Amino acid sequence: MTTKRVLGHAFADAALLDRALTHRSVGHANNERLEFLGDALLNLFVAELVYERYPRADEGEMTRLRAALVNGGALAELARAEEIGERLRLGPGELKSGGFRRESILADAFEALVAAIYVDAGWAVCRDTVRRLFAERVAAGANTPKDAKTRLQELLQSRNLPLPVYELAGSTGEEHARTFEAVCRIESANILTRGSGSSRRAAEQLAAEQALVELERNLADE
């Protein structure tokens, strides 16, 4: 059994905590269902914080802030700070490949733990936990840089050009170490770029970054 306190919460149900820390590579009794619930809870509670902290922000600004705060990289960073990786239960393949350091696995475990707190102690305790963990990050959110997809979209909109189309071009590797390839297509500017990453979202961001570079170069030449 693991130590019962995680993310500042002392679990009454140690088995629930173990489930939240168990990756699907271990077997059927894993944290995927909790991850699903935790994703929804995080988005709601962080959205609430953003709504309260930035009363003059419009919907687009609040959406960008929430996306910058609740994504694989940000959640993995929080998981590392809480030393979640060292407590994960992984199958032999993930252990061998260093899965306890992988961003996607850490982020998923963080989501699962949030849900486990909700199941273990209820809405109020879970909400208080998330607000405590994210309060400073939300307060600093106004300084969070926009991601590549957002910057590309805003540049195209400023020129009254159609928005880009993203497509999943394929994936390679074993299930526990899969690499995704995404395409960013801007027909009006004759731009087609590719990006690869450990998730579809990461691949799309890299493809958008490349498309942004090409688009800005084309506009500078006009």
Q: Residues annotated as binding site for Mg(2+)?
A: 35, 108, 111
Q: What is the DSSP string of 28-65?
A: SSSSHHHHHHHHHHHHHHHHHHHHHH-TT--HHHHHHH
**Residues labelled catalytic:** 39, 111
- 8 A C-beta contact, residue 113 and residue 84: yes
Binding residues: 35, 108, 111
How far, CA to CA in Å, does 39 sit from each of 69, 93, 115, 208? Answer: 12, 26, 8, 24
Q: How many residues does the chain have?
A: 222
Separation CA 51–CA 32 (nearest Å): 29
CA–CA gap between residue 95 and residue 23 (Å, rounded): 11
Output DSSP code: residue 175: G
